[in-house]
Amino acid sequence: MTLTLLFIILIACHLESTGAKWTYNGPDGEHNWSNNYPFCGGAFQSPIDFQTQLLRYDPNLPPIQVQNYNLSTKEQLTLSNNGHSVQLYLPSHMYISSLPHRYSAAQLHFHWGSSNLLTGSEHTVNGKRFAGEMHVVHFNSDKYPNISMAVDKHDGLAVLGVFIEIGEFNPAFDKFFKYMNGIKYRDQKIQVPAFNIHALLPARLDEYYRYDGSLTTPPCYPSVLWTVFRRPVTISRKQFLALATALYASYAQESTTVPLHGNYRKPQIADNRVVLVSFKDGKKPKC
């Protein structure tokens, strides 16, 4: 074995032993994330519970405006199972235009419960947890060339959060849910035809919660401007169960399969943060 190869193997082993692996439960679960990822134990973490006393109405918050979300079916998108979630990679010509900077799309992914626990959103509202939550992740393309450069910067990311409830069948979600069998195991990827991403969002983009927070997975950088829409979207129970039962967090070659479900972080402390809201409902005015 050459010294170079030995060095590569040692580096790989070191990365594995210093926190490359994390899970939601067990010895590598979220209560131990901060051992290898210090920011996970730091301030301004996400998700949080949107408690009434934290909310402040801000009449100057504009409706969210997104551009180029209606993708051509001639485009191909990569759908992957990264061992922690389902992730759909998005082209950077999609962007949010209603923020101080241009935030270009990078990917969207999901958090959900399980077949016997139909609650799995990360953010909660006065303690209520929804069936699931979708995050559409964008990076500040005015200041940074890509998401890798932006991810640890204080103004690096903007995420649109969408609550998911079980109810009516949702044809927009089926545009990629129907390909789940192609990504049953960790690190599997397939190409799927693009579609109108806007159809995944709620009808009302003018009602939302806004606060400064973090990535909800390691390394938990406090780099996210969060916009979580007030109104959920629905998927059918059958669609939810397809998401909650079809996937594994383990590799295809592993003899023991680990189901991929319950992939949500518990609410974090508010840290004296104020959550601005774009809707009145008797909330205190912003000072």
Q: Provide mean pLDDT across the span 205-223.
A: 98
Tell me the DSSP string of 186-204: TT-EEEEE--BGGGGS-S-
Which SS3 state, helix, strand or coil, does residue 224 take?
strand
- Alpha carbons 73 and 138: distance in angstroms, whole number: 21
Residue 19 confidence (pLDDT) above 70: no
Q: 242, 176 in Cβ contact below 8 A? A: no
- Number of residues assigned to the chain: 287
By the 8 A CB rule, do 186 and 82 touch? yes
- Which of 287 and 127 is assigned the larger pLDDT? 127
Q: What is the 3-state secondary structure (H, E, C) of 44-108?
A: CCCCCEECHHHEEECCCCCCCCEECCECCCCCEEEEEECCCCEEEECCCCCEECCCCCCEEEEEE
- For CA atoms 263, 266, 270, 276, give the dihedral sign: positive
Q: Higher pLDDT residue, 161 or 18?
A: 161
Kindly state the percentage of the chain with pLDDT values over 70. Answer: 91
Q: How confident is the model at residue 28 (pLDDT cuts 50, 70, 90)?
A: very high
> Quick one: pLDDT band at residue 243, thresholds 50, 70, 90?
very high
Given this model, what pLDDT does residue 20 score? 55
Q: What is the rounded average pLDDT for all residues in the chain?
A: 92
What are the pLDDT digits (tens) for 141-199?
999 999 999 999 999 999 999 999 999 999 999 999 999 999 999 999 999 999 999 99
Say whether pLDDT at 271 is over 80.
yes
Res. 26: pLDDT tops 70: yes
Would you tell me how many other CB atoms lie within 10 Å of the CB of residue 133?
24
Sequential DSSP letters for 103-158: EEEEEEEEEE-BTTB----SSEETTB--SEEEEEEEEETTT-SSHHHHTTSTTSEE
Give φ, ψ of 138 to 5 degrees.
Answer: -125, 155
Lowest average pLDDT, out of 7-16, 70-79, 204-213, 273-282, goes to 7-16
- Residue 284 scores a pLDDT above 70: no
- The pLDDT confidence band at residue 12, using thresholds 50, 70 and 90, is very low
Distance CA 10, CA 17 (A): 10
Q: Which of 84, 123, 138, 261 is catalytic?
A: 84
pLDDT category of residue 15 using cuts at 50, 70 and 90: very low
- For 129-138, what is each residue's pLDDT tens digit? 999 999 999 9
Q: Where are the domains of the chain?
A: 37-285
pLDDT score, position 281: 75
Task: State the pLDDT at residue 251.
Answer: 97
Q: Which residues contact 23 (CB under 8 A, 6 or more apart)?
A: 29, 249
Is 84 one of the catalytic residues? yes
**What class is the 37-285 domain?**
alpha beta
Taking residue 196's Cβ as centre, other Cβ atoms within 10 Å add up to 14
